[in-house]
């Protein structure tokens, strides 16, 4: 398989769907928002975007299965599977906040080998394939060279439906606030990750995430020279519902900062 050519084709598909999302954002009616669960929003834009992605990706790689957020197609195949978030940052989108993205990853067996994240408002397409480096709009990107957490800007996400570990998480958050240049919360994990990859953030951590939130961005971070793990620096960060991504230099400090207060394993 030619991953480079496949990645180029996926960026074209992703840009097309991103253009549809951006167009819809200009006239989106918030009354059309549906609730999948408490604070878990979905719109016709999410659903139609995912349908477009599944159709085009199936044509591009017929032997691949799918892991999708909106369940357009969740039939997994033995070797290849696309992991898709058609609109990462739906809450931002529905409130008119222009911070959202399209995220697509290809998993071969249990390994992510291709990732594309497109942010339509800035027209930035981040992508990587295994062993090929990381890029934004065809320009190579690399993680920041900041040497320590005290020099870092860190991103995170907040719990929005499972608040059982909120106090524990707020302690971790306060710990990062005291030890870094600051903490930011954008509302799109895929963007948090690619912003680590291109050096805008030095680190990112969050829990209660899904594979479609992190699969593409995690590979892009790694191909940009960064490091990705769970909070405990081991295990499956794609399906394990928690992730730490960094420029590598501050990774051990991030893990230690989390470990001071994160005593419970994630449920």
Could you tell me which residues come within 8 angstroms of residue 242 by beta carbon, excluding any fewer than 6 positions away?
205, 206, 207, 208, 209, 230, 231, 266
Provide the residue ranges of all domains of the chain, joining segments of one domain with +. 3-140, 149-259
Structure tokens, 255? 């893990």
**Are 208 and 266 contacting, i.e. CB atoms less than 8 angstroms apart?**
yes
- What kind of architecture, by CATH, is found in domain 3-140? 2-Layer Sandwich (3.30)
Q: What is the pLDDT along the chain (267 residues), one digit of tens a residue?
A: 899 999 999 999 999 999 999 999 888 777 667 765 444 456 788 899 999 999 999 999 999 999 998 888 889 999 999 999 999 999 899 899 999 999 999 999 999 999 999 999 999 999 999 999 999 999 999 999 999 999 999 999 987 666 777 888 899 999 999 999 999 999 999 999 999 999 999 999 999 899 999 999 999 999 999 999 999 878 899 999 999 999 999 999 999 999 999 875 544
Q: Identify the pLDDT of residue 158.
A: 85
Reference 152, options 113, 183, 121; nearest CA is 183
Q: Identify the pLDDT of residue 36.
A: 55
Reference 101, options 83, 125, 82, 81; nearest CA is 125
Q: Identify the pLDDT of residue 35.
A: 60
Q: Report the CATH number of the 149-259 domain.
A: 3.40.190.80
Residue 39 to residue 41: CA distance in whole angstroms: 6
pTM of the model: 0.94
Residue-wise DSSP of 41-89: EE-HHHHHHHHHHHHHHHHH-TT-EEEESS-S-----SSEEEEEEEEET
Q: How many CB atoms lie within 10 A of CB 172?
A: 20
Q: Identify the pLDDT of residue 267.
A: 45
Reference 128, options 223, 238, 229; nearest CA is 223
In total, the chain counts a number of residues equal to 267
Characterize 181-195 residue by residue with b for buried, 16 or more Cβ atoms within 10 angstroms of its Cβ, and e for exposed: eebeebbbbbbbbbb
Q: What is the pLDDT of residues 201-215, one digit of tens each?
A: 999 999 989 999 999
Q: Identify the pLDDT of residue 263.
A: 74
């Amino acid at each position: 398989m030619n991953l480079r050519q496949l990645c180029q084709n996926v960026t074209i598909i992703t840009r097309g769907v991103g253009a549809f999302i951006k167009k819809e954002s200009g006239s989106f009616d918030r009354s059309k928002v549906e609730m999948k669960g408490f604070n878990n929003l979905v719109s016709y834009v999410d659903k139609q975007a995912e349908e477009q992605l599944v159709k085009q990706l199936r044509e591009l790689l017929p032997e691949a299965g799918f892991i999708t957020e909106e369940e357009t197609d969740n039939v997994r195949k033995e070797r290849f599977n696309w992991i898709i978030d058609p609109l990462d940052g739906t809450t931002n989108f529905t409130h008119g906040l222009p911070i959202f993205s399209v995220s697509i990853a290809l998993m071969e067996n249990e390994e992510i080998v291709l990732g594309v994240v497109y942010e339509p408002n800035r027209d930035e397409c981040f992508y990587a394939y295994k062993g090929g480096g990381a890029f934004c709009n065809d320009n190579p990107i690399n993680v920041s060279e900041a040497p320590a957490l005290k020099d870092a800007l860190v991103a995170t996400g907040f719990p929005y439906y499972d608040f059982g570990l909120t106090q524990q998480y707020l302690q971790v958050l306060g710990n990062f606030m005291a030890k870094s240049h600051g903490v930011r919360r954008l509302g799109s994990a895929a963007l948090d990750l690619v912003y680590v990859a291109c050096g805008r953030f030095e680190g990112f951590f969050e829990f209660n995430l899904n594979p479609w939130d992190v699969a593409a961005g995690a590979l892009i971070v790694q191909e940009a020279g960064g490091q990705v793990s769970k909070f405990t620096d081991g295990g499956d960060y794609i399906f394990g519902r928690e992730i730490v991504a960094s420029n590598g230099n501050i990774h051990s400090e991030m893990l230690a900062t989390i470990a001071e207060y994160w005593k419970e394993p994630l449920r």
